[in-house]
Amino acid sequence: MYKLIDGKEISKSIRSELSNKISLLKKAVGLAVVLVGNNSASQVYVKNKIKACEEVGIKSFAHYLPENTSQTELENLLKKLADDETVHGILVQLPLPKHISEDALRLIPHEKDVDGFSAENVGSLCLKQKGTVPCTPYGIMKMLEYENIDICGKNAVVVGRSNIVGKPIAMLLLNSDATVTVCHSKTKNLKDICKSADILIVAIGKAKFIKSDMVKDGAVVIDVGMNRDESGKLCGDVDFESVKDKCSHITPVPGGVGPMTITMLMYNTYVSAKRSLK
């Protein structure tokens, strides 16, 4: 029998604790959320982030910029937000339109980089030093912690090598003493590598890609994907129905990693505000 890792429930408990902590701060906590363009998935993510801010008592400053925004216009906004003392966290929703370079994100001071994407924060993670941990990988680690899943000495396989999920989760697992393998589109023998995983993390954006013959009996499976299947229904990168009975633990989509990402964004923003009050 598998255990479902309920990201909504875990989020609820973290958010309620967080909401108490935020109410005890002497100043309002502020998060600026910047969305450039009309990507419909991004619009939903941003809406959910703003809703979560309301829920935990963070003041959100939403900036919706049109698709034809120039690099300079985005950079000017980021400079303004960097100097704004009421803003403790700045989030630019990715992906940006193709004509805008992610170099713009360098204008976010690392203390306000609540996504943990800056070179400073990435470096801290690699060096196992204090810093802001990217929200999705942080949320995954929290889920493993809540479920008392042992990481030390385990074979962890990460499928996907993105800067947002694959690379940082690999580093976090390594920092927790797992033996980590990172797979990607050019990996040979993916099936056998996945099958060696005690902990399998999948973040590739391909609907139902991981099938039961790629999963070891008793594995912990974390599905970061958010896709639509043939009939338009939300689904992950893991073929849940075929894989679930092989797992000791598995995350659902929706209701797994997604809510945890937003919860850890709220947490990172709180930490950023608290630090600024010192």
84 in active site: no
How many other CB atoms are found less than 10 A from the CB of residue 181?
16
Joined together, the tokens standing for residue 250 give 């598995």
- Residue 113 designated active-site: no
Candidate ranges 74-82, 87-95, 124-132, 191-199; the one touching ligand GUN (CB under 6 A):
87-95
91 belongs to the binding site for ligand GUN (CB under 6 A): yes
Stretch that binds ligand GUN, among 5-13, 50-58, 90-98, 232-240 (CB under 6 A): 90-98
Question: Cα–Cα distance between 171 and 176 in angstroms, integer?
Answer: 9
Q: From the candidates 93, 154, 167, 216, which is the catalytic residue?
A: 93
**Is residue 11 at the binding interface for ligand GUN, with CB under 6 A as the rule?**
no
**Are 183 and 141 within 8 A, CB to CB?**
no
Residue 68: count other Cβ atoms within 10 Å of its Cβ.
10
**Which parts of 232-261 interact with ligand GUN (CB under 6 A)?**
261
Candidates 158, 136, 147, 104; CA nearest to 226 is: 136
Rank residues 110 and 246 by Cβ distance to ligand GUN and give the closer one.
Answer: 110
Give the Cβ contact number of residue 67 at 10 Å: 11
| 136 sits near ligand GUN (criterion: CB under 6 A) | yes
* Binder of ligand GUN out of 5, 58, 115, 132 (CB under 6 A): 115
Q: Which is nearer to ligand GUN, 42 or 242 (CB)?
A: 42
130 is catalytic: no
**DSSP helix, strand, coil percent of the chain (3-state; round to 5):** 45, 20, 35
Kindly state the smallest distance separating residue 271's Cβ from ligand GUN, in Å.
Answer: 16
Span from 64-72, 89-97, 151-159, 216-224 in contact with ligand GUN (CB under 6 A): 89-97
> Cβ–Cβ contacts within 10 Å for residue 223, how many?
26
Contact between 94 and ligand GUN (CB under 6 A)? Answer: yes
Q: Which of 115, 198, 223, 237 is catalytic?
A: 115
The three-class DSSP label of residue 249 is strand
**Least separation, in Å, of the C-beta of 33 and ligand GUN?**
9
Distances (CA, A) of 17 to 8, 89, 100, 115, 151: 14, 19, 38, 21, 25
Catalytic residue IDs:
49, 93, 115
> What is the contact surface with ligand GUN in residues (CB under 6 A)?
91-94, 115, 135-136, 164, 261
